[in-house]
Amino acid sequence: MNKKLLILLILVCFLFSVSAASAEEIKIGGVACLTGAAATYGASTKNACILAFEAVNAEGGVDIGGTKYLINYIFEDDQGSPEVAANAFRKLIDQDEVVAILGSVMSSCTLAGAPIAQDAGIPVISPTSTAVQVTLTGDYIFRACFLDPFQGAVVATFSTNDLKAKTAAVIFDNANDYTKGLAESFKESFEKLGGKVVAYESFADESKTFDFSAQLTKIKSANPDVIFLDGYYSAAALMAKQARGLGITVPFVGADGWDSAEFTKLGGEAVEGGYFCNHYSPEDPRPIVQNFVKKYTETYGATPDALATLAYDAALILIDSLHRAGSMDGAAIRDAISATDLECVSGQITYNEVGDPIKKAAIIKVEDGKFVFQKFVQP
Amino acid sequence: MDIESVSTTGHCLLQCPVVLYKAVKLFSTKLGKKRKMTKKQLYDSMNNNILTYNKLTNWKKYLFISVIILFFLFVYILSFGTQAFFQQLVNGIQLGSIYALIALGYTMIYGIIKLINFAHGDLFMFGAYISCFLGNYLVAHNIGFPFIIVLIFSMFVTALLGMAIEKIAYKPLRFKPRLAALITALGVSLFLENFFALSPENVPFPLNKIVFGPKYIPFPALIAEKVYNIGGVTINNIKILDVVITIILMVGLQYIVKKTMVGKAMRAVAFNKDACLMMGINIDNIISITFGIGTSLAAAAGTLFALTYGQLQSPYMGIWPGLKAFIAAVLGGIGSIPGAMLGSYVMGISETFATSINSNFGYSIAFIILIVVLIFKPAGLLGKFTKEKV
Amino acid sequence: MKIIKNIINLIKKYYKFILITVLVYLLFQIFNGSIPIAPRLLTRYYMQIIMFALINIIMTVSLNLINGFTGQFSIGHAGFMCIGAYTSAYFTTILFKAANMAYFPQLVLFIFSLIMGGLVAAFAGYLIGLPTLKLRGDYLAIVTLAFGEVIRSIVRSSDEIAAFINQIGLVKFSETIAKLNGPRGLSTIPALSKFWLVYIICIISVIIMRNFIYSTHGRACLSIRENEVAAETMGIDTTRYKIIAFSMSAFFAGVGGGLFAHVLRFIHPENFSFIKSIDYLIYLYAGGMGSITGSIIAATGLTILPEFLRVINFQQWRMVIYPLFLVILMLRKPDGIFGNREFSFLVPKKKEVN
Phi, psi of C332 (to 5 degrees): -95, -45
What proportions of chain C, in percent to the nearest 5, are helix, strand and coil?
A: 75, 0, 25
Minimal CA separation from A208 to chain B, in Å: 6
- Is pLDDT at B290 greater than 90 in this prediction? yes
Name the CA dihedral angle for C278, C280, C282, C287, rounded to a multiple of 10 degrees. -170
Neighbours of chain B (3+ CB pairs under 8 A): A, C
Contact C189, C93 (CB under 8 A): yes
Chain segment A17-46, per-residue pLDDT in tens: 444 444 578 888 888 887 766 667 788 888
Contact A100, A122 (CB under 8 A): yes
CA atoms within 13 A on the CB side of A157: 16
| Residues 278-317 in B contacting C (C-alpha not used; CB under 8 Å) | none
Helices (H) and strands (E) in chain C, counts: 15, 0
Residues β-bridged to residue B233: B230
Contact B128, B317 (CB under 8 A): yes
Minimal CA separation from C268 to chain B, in Å: 18
Contacts of C294 (CB under 8 A, 6+ apart): C286, C287, C288, C336, C337, C338, C339, C341
| Residues 159-188 in B contacting C (C-alpha not used; CB under 8 Å) | 169, 172-173, 176-180, 182-184, 186-188
| Residues 114-143 in B contacting A (C-alpha not used; CB under 8 Å) | none
- Is pLDDT at B223 greater than 70 in this prediction? yes
What is the rounded distance in angstroms from the CA atom of residue B313 to the CA atom of residue B215? 7
Residues β-bridged to residue A370: A367
Mean pLDDT score, C208-225 = 90
Contact C192, C98 (CB under 8 A): yes
What is the rounded distance in angstroms from the CA atom of residue A332 to the CA atom of residue A335? 5
Indicate the residue of B199, B218, B360 with minimum beta-carbon distance to A39: B199
What is the rounded distance in angstroms from the CA atom of residue B17 to the CA atom of residue B7? 16
Name the CA dihedral angle for C89, C95, C100, C101, rounded to a multiple of 10 degrees. -90
Q: What is the pLDDT of residue B165?
A: 94
Residues β-bridged to residue A202: A172
> What band does B35 get if pLDDT is binned at 50, 70 and 90?
low
Indicate the residue of B198, B323, B363 with minimum beta-carbon distance to C316: B198
Please name which of B389, B376, B329 lies closest in space to residue B111, comparing C-alpha atoms: B329
In whole angstroms, how large is the CA radius of gyration of chain B? Answer: 23
Please name which of C338, C291, C231, C236 lies closest in space to residue C67, comparing C-alpha atoms: C291
Contacts of C169 (CB under 8 A, 6+ apart): none
Indicate the residue of C43, C184, C271 with minimum beta-carbon distance to A94: C43
Chain segment C294-323, per-residue pLDDT in tens: 889 899 988 888 877 776 666 777 778 888
- Is pLDDT at B212 greater than 90 in this prediction? no
Q: What is the pLDDT of residue B16?
A: 61
CA atoms within 13 A on the CB side of C248: 25
Q: Tell me if C143 and B378 make a contact (CB, 8 A cut-off).
A: no
Q: Tell me if C331 and B173 make a contact (CB, 8 A cut-off).
A: yes
> What band does C58 get if pLDDT is binned at 50, 70 and 90?
very high
Where in the sequence of chain C do the CATH 1.10.3470 domains occur?
A: 47-332
User: Computed from CA positions of residues B166, B172, B176, B181, in that sequence, does the dihedral angle turn out positive or negative?
Assistant: negative
Q: Residue A173 region, left (φ>0) first, then alpha (ψ -120 to 50), else beta?
A: beta
What is the rounded distance in angstroms from the CA atom of residue A340 to the CA atom of residue B189? 51
Residues β-bridged to residue A154: none
Q: What is the pLDDT of residue B53?
A: 46
Q: What is the pLDDT of residue C259?
A: 93
Q: How far is CA A39 from CA A81, A144, B271, C208, C315, in A?
A: 12, 20, 49, 43, 12
Minimal CA separation from C215 to chain A, in Å: 32
Ranges B44-48, C81-85, C125-129: which has the least confidence: B44-48
Total Cβ atoms within 10 A of residue C95? 13
Mean pLDDT score, B362-385 = 78
Max mean pLDDT among A92-101, B75-84, C345-354 falls in: A92-101
CA atoms within 13 A on the CB side of A62: 25
Residues β-bridged to residue A367: A370
* Interface with B, mutate which of A202, A230, A234 (most B CBs under 10 A): A234
Q: Tell me if A234 and B234 make a contact (CB, 8 A cut-off).
A: no
What is the rounded distance in angstroms from the CA atom of residue C201 to the CA atom of residue A275? 55
What is the rounded distance in angstroms from the CA atom of residue B61 to the CA atom of residue B74? 20
- Is pLDDT at C258 greater than 80 in this prediction? yes
Name the CA dihedral angle for B196, B198, B203, B205, rounded to a multiple of 10 degrees. 20
What is the rounded distance in angstroms from the CA atom of residue A40 to the CA atom of residue A36? 9
Helix (H), strand (E), coil (C) string for chain A? CHHHHHHHHHHHHHHHCCCCCCCCEEEEEEEECCCCCCHHHHHHHHHHHHHHHHHHHHCCCEEECCEEEEEEEEEEECCCCHHHHHHHHHHHHHHCCCCEEECCCCHHHHHHHHHHHHHHCCCEEECCCCCCHHHHCCCCEEECCCCHHHHHHHHHHHHHHCCCCCEEEEEEECCCHHHHHHHHHHHHHHHHCCCEEEEEEEECCCCCCCCCHHHHHHHHHHCCCEEEEECCHHHHHHHHHHHHHCCCCCCEEECHHHCCCHHHHHHHHHHCCCEEEECCCCCCCCHHHHHHHHHHHHHHCCCCCHHHHHHHHHHHHHHHHHHHHCCCCHHHHHHHHHCCEEEECCEEEEECCCCCEECCEEEEEEECCEEEEEEEECC
Contact C295, C210 (CB under 8 A): no
Mean pLDDT score, C27-54 = 77
Residues of chain C with Cβ-Cβ distance to A94 below 8 Å are 43-45
- Is pLDDT at C201 greater than 50 in this prediction? yes
Chain segment C60-89, per-residue pLDDT in tens: 999 999 988 888 888 889 999 999 999 999
Chain segment A116-168, per-residue pLDDT in tens: 888 888 899 888 888 888 888 888 888 888 888 888 888 888 888 888 888 88
The amino acid sitting at A27 is K
Q: What is the pLDDT of residue B196?
A: 86
Q: What is the pLDDT of residue B98?
A: 92
Minimal CA separation from A251 to chain B, in Å: 20
Which ipTM value was assigned to this complex?
Answer: 0.83
Indicate the residue of A35, A202, A238 with minimum beta-carbon distance to B359: A202
Q: Parallel, antiparallel, or unpaired for β A226-230 and A252-254?
A: parallel
B312 three-state secondary structure = strand
What is the rounded distance in angstroms from the CA atom of residue A216 to the CA atom of residue A228? 12
Mean pLDDT score, B215-225 = 76
Q: What is the pLDDT of residue B1?
A: 39
The amino acid sitting at A46 is K
Q: Tell me if A177 and C183 make a contact (CB, 8 A cut-off).
A: yes
C267 three-state secondary structure = strand
Q: How far is CA A222 from CA A174, A200, A211, B2, in A?
A: 20, 10, 19, 12
Q: Tell me if C323 and B187 make a contact (CB, 8 A cut-off).
A: yes
What is the rounded distance in angstroms from the CA atom of residue C126 to the CA atom of residue B68? 28
- Is pLDDT at B72 greater than 60 in this prediction? yes
- Is pLDDT at C196 greater than 60 in this prediction? yes
The DSSP output letter for C186 is B
Indicate the residue of C48, C184, C308 with minimum beta-carbon distance to A177: C184
Residues β-bridged to residue A197: A168
Q: What is the pLDDT of residue B27?
A: 60
Residues of chain B with Cβ-Cβ distance to C230 below 8 Å are 390
- Is pLDDT at B292 greater than 90 in this prediction? yes
Q: How far is CA B326 from CA A55, A111, B266, C281, in A?
A: 56, 37, 20, 21
Q: Which residues of A touch C (CB under 8 A)?
A: 10, 13-15, 17-18, 34-36, 76-77, 79, 81-84, 86-87, 90-91, 93-95, 107-108, 111-112, 114-115, 119, 131-133, 137, 174-177, 180-181, 204
Q: What is the pLDDT of residue A8?
A: 57
pLDDT < 70 regions, chain A: 1-23, 36-39, 206-207, 379
The answer to whether A201 faces chain B, any CB pair under 8 Å, is yes
What is the rounded distance in angstroms from the CA atom of residue B379 to the CA atom of residue B383? 5
Residues of chain A with Cβ-Cβ distance to C43 below 8 Å are 18, 94-95
Minimal CA separation from C172 to chain A, in Å: 22
Stretch (H or E) spanning B229: strand B227-230
Q: What is the pLDDT of residue B49?
A: 53
The DSSP output letter for C74 is -
Mean pLDDT score, B72-81 = 77
What stretches of B130-200 adopt beta strand conformation (E)? Answer: none
What is the CATH code of the structural domain delimited by C47-332?
A: 1.10.3470
List, in order of start, the domains of chain A with CATH numbers. Answer: 25-146+287-360 (3.40.50.2300), 148-278 (3.40.50.2300)
What is the rounded distance in angstroms from the CA atom of residue B63 to the CA atom of residue A89? 61
- Is pLDDT at B301 greater than 50 in this prediction? yes
Mean pLDDT score, C173-179 = 75
What is the rounded distance in angstroms from the CA atom of residue A175 to the CA atom of residue A180? 8
Mean predicted lDDT score pLDDT of chain B: 81
Mean predicted lDDT score pLDDT of chain C: 84
User: Computed from CA positions of residues C16, C22, C23, C25, in that sequence, does the dihedral angle turn out positive or negative?
Assistant: positive
The amino acid sitting at A83 is E
The CA angle A346-A74-A90, to the nearest 5 degrees, is 100
Q: Tell me if B176 and C334 make a contact (CB, 8 A cut-off).
A: yes
B262 three-state secondary structure = helix
What is the CA C194 to chain-centroid distance, rounded?
Answer: 17
